[in-house]
Amino acid sequence: MKNVFFSFHYANDVNRANVVRNSWVIPGNKAAGFIDKADFEKIKLGGDPAIYNWIDEQLKGTSVTVVLIGEETASRKFVRYELQESYKRGNKIIGVYIHKIKDMRTGLTSNKGSICFGILGKDCRGEDVYFSQIANVYDWVQDDGYNNFGYWLEH
């Protein structure tokens, strides 16, 4: 069983993110990091501290963090926080480009996003650690995520 936290830019990419989640969720697998829009609006009323607390709670018990990389994902402060906390907790981190997945509402794809998420933490020597140093990155469409996602999580 895998407990996976999905990190993504909600407003831009929730439909694309659901394509990934829905292809993977089977009995025994737990997908954290997804929330109903109405529930998220309630949490946002508590400000940034409430959002950080929600993220911390969602990360509990996860062993893998998957950042679903859309056009603006790297610029999102909460995504950066999710990755920093994931690194701190020892989660395996992988990236999946989702820009080629068609949005269910519009039928459009988007531009490829950046993997420059800033410093995730420090290694045992005190050196800065970046996403590109520790994460395997795949393209959902080009690398056939529908059939390979489980393998990516394991390896």
- Global pTM? 0.91
- Which pLDDT value is given to residue 34? 67
- Which pLDDT value is given to residue 23? 83
Q: What is the mean pLDDT of each run of 10 residues along the chain (155 residues)?
A: 84 90 68 69 92 93 94 97 97 97 92 97 97 97 93 88
- Which pLDDT value is given to residue 49? 96
Question: What's 143's DSSP letter?
Answer: T
Express each pLDDT in 120-149 by its tens digit.
999 999 999 999 999 999 999 999 999 999
Contact between residue 103 and residue 54 where contact means Cβ atoms under 8 Å apart: no
Per-residue three-class SS string for 104-138: CCCCCCCCCCCCCCCEEEECCCCCEEEHHHHCEEE
Of 10, 53, 100, which is closest to residue 45 (Cα–Cα)?
A: 53
Structural domain 3-154, CATH architecture: 3-Layer(aba) Sandwich (3.40)
- What are the residue boundaries of the structural domains of the chain, listed by start? 3-154
